[in-house]
Structure 1
Amino acid sequence: MALSQHPLPEPPSYMEYQGILFPAINIKQESLEAVKMFEIRDDDVVIVTYPKSGTNWMYEVVHKILTGKKENITPVGLEFWPPGKQPSYIQLRETPSPRLMYTHLQHQLAPPGLAAPVNKLSHNILQVKVIVVLRNPKDICVSFYHYCQKHAYLKNPESWEHHNRDFLDGKMVFGGDYFDQVLGWWQMRNDPHFLFVKYEDMKKDFRSSVKTIAAFLEKELTDEHLNLILNSCSLESMRKALTESGTSRNTIVRKGMVGDWKNHFSAEESARFDQKYRERMAGTGLEFDFE
């Protein structure tokens, strides 16, 4: 008697939109089209990141600066359409101000009010504030590799070598080409609506980073408020809270260290990365710490 054969689960499908791959299960073309017309409000705070740059970390820091509350919240990503739920752009449209959201979108796919905020003449009106978190591409590549292995809606990399090549070739989900995404937003560095924060700087001096972010958000922190943020948003606290959350976010925080790429990259891979990095970053004024 033949044993019953259980069909293998279908691999997750990706959708390509303007040359960028998106997981079909939680991002649809309809939502990406709608985002282009999404209205950004004057008092919105938007966090922009390439995936695995510290999105959840920054989201918690900003949430706690704005509210003073200790509990963690689930971030709302502008372009996402969670299975069985309303698209995020509709949820956000119905959310009262002030709103906090994030996006991994490249600059050219973002809503006009985010990609090129308009200055308001009245000093009494709050203006949209955009925090762009940047992280060195080698550590992002490693973090993305491990992340893809833990989430069923993403394709499991065939191998580290294959993933490394795909990353360098710009074939990553959500953000597409790392250099296109980062440099697209970096062109806004002189716009007062934007604050650029490096992941490595947050690791090096978290207290100073929190103060800088609070000043940008025009929030004065008491010593008690500052200490609440420093304690509850340390990577160890975040890891513990997310691990115990009972949600799909329980694997988000892995090592969170700077320089973990050295445990994965071969000399040849590192040299290939360095060459691409020099070519794309030349003359931009953007530099990273890699260890």
Structure 2
Amino acid sequence: MAADKTMMPPRPNLFDFHGVSMVHYFTDNWEKIQNFQARPDDILIATYPKAGTTWVSYILDLLYFSQTQPDRQTSTPIHDRVPFLEITSVPNHPCGTDLADNLVTSPRLIKTHLPVQMVPKSFWEQKCRVVYVARNAKDNAVSYYHFDRMNVVQPEPGDWNSFLQRFMDGKMVFGSWFDHVTGWWEKKQSNPKIHYLFFEDMVEDTGREINKLCSFLGLTSTTKEKEQIRHQSQFDNMKKDDMANYSTVEVMDFKISPFMRKGKVGDWKNHFTVAQNEQFDEDYKKKMKNTMLQFRTVV
């Protein structure tokens, strides 16, 4: 699972990068990221961290390649099939732009956690399709907390209370959840190439959301194929799949927490105190008052 702790890099520090909190692992070769050359048929999977990135990446990979490359899912980890664009200097991990450049698939599936204003301009110039996945803030915060506990390329999370405060303040890697989800939502209003998907809708009816994805992408998968994909992409199946669950990634310590933990809606109720919930709701109302974007915290 995880590598020997003595070989692990020190935890990185957050710093302000063009107005967004970041760590050096995602900014070290910034020009290389910004100069990345997208192709017209590329599909960008964009999310705030821990919002269902791997789930949607896995589904798209199956939709495009399960019929033509059936061995792909059992031989290659998802993070090699769907490169993480801005990962540049994580130990023992290839650079995301290099991985993407070397993909031989068409389309190339590429993932990013970048806020909309930081996405390389070639994706817009080439009119690439983007699948954005958003998750309600409370569950997203809980998932991010457990992720930061087990992933040494993230800053130390501290205790839950201080982490939640940082989350509200936007002092997280890739910045504020509020800015991220609303920034992409606003972009979608003027860009028909963006499909904005909700994690809660995926949990409620995965098959329905797969149908919507097929419609957006112009795919004509059969009912049988889609049902097979829905079954394969169920959380418990993916959690057991070493090609999907990130157990091969050295910087993650599964003794602390699995990468794929629960995949549920409403787990925030097991973490938030009454006081934290009231404070969060008040802060949320202020920050979301100027957007039509709405989330569900239960399904």
* Coarse TM-score class (shorter-chain normalised): 0.7 to 0.9
In structure 2, how many angstroms separate the alpha carbons of the residues matched to 1:228 and 1:22? Answer: 38
Contact 1:141 1:164 in 2 (8 A): yes
Contact 1:117 1:193 in 2 (8 A): no
Give the one of 92, 99, 113 matched to 1:91: 99
Give the one of 110, 116, 120 matched to 1:107: 116
In structure 2, how many angstroms separate the alpha carbons of the residues matched to 1:281 and 1:113? Answer: 30
Please state if 1:66 is matched with 2:64.
Answer: yes
Q: What percentage of residue pairs aligned between the two structures are identical?
A: 31
Equivalent position amino acid for 1:41 in 2: R
Sort the Cα spacing of 1:244 and 1:269 in 2 relative to 1 into closer, same or farther, 3 A: closer
In structure 1, how many angstroms separate the alpha carbons of the residues matched to 2:286 and 2:245? Answer: 42
In structure 2, how many angstroms separate the alpha carbons of the residues matched to 1:15 and 1:34? Answer: 21
Q: Could you say which structure has the greater relative contact order, defined with CA pairs below 8 angstroms and 6 or more residues apart?
A: 2
Q: TM-score scaled to structure 1, two decimals?
A: 0.86
Q: TM-score scaled to structure 2, two decimals?
A: 0.84
Tell me the equivalent position of 2:207. Answer: 207
Tell me the equivalent position of 1:176. Answer: 175
Answer with 1 or 2: which has the greater Rg: 1
Equivalent position amino acid for 1:34 in 2: K
Gaps of 5+ in 2: 1-5
**1:77-88 superposed matches below 5 A:** 77-81=84-88, 82-88=90-96
Tell me the equivalent position of 2:34. Answer: 36
In structure 2, how many angstroms separate the alpha carbons of the residues matched to 1:28 and 1:84? Answer: 17
Shift of 1:245: 6.5
Tell me the equivalent position of 1:156. Answer: 156
Sort the Cα spacing of 1:195 and 1:245 in 2 relative to 1 into closer, same or farther, 3 A: closer
Sort the Cα spacing of 1:44 and 1:151 in 2 relative to 1 into closer, same or farther, 3 A: same
Tell me the equivalent position of 2:167. Answer: 167
User: Alignment RMSD, CA only?
Assistant: 2.2
In structure 2, how many angstroms separate the alpha carbons of the residues matched to 1:245 and 1:154? Answer: 15
Contact 1:12 1:23 in 2 (8 A): no
Shift of 1:11: 4.0
Tell me the equivalent position of 1:231. Answer: 231
Sort the Cα spacing of 1:139 and 1:15 in 2 relative to 1 into closer, same or farther, 3 A: closer
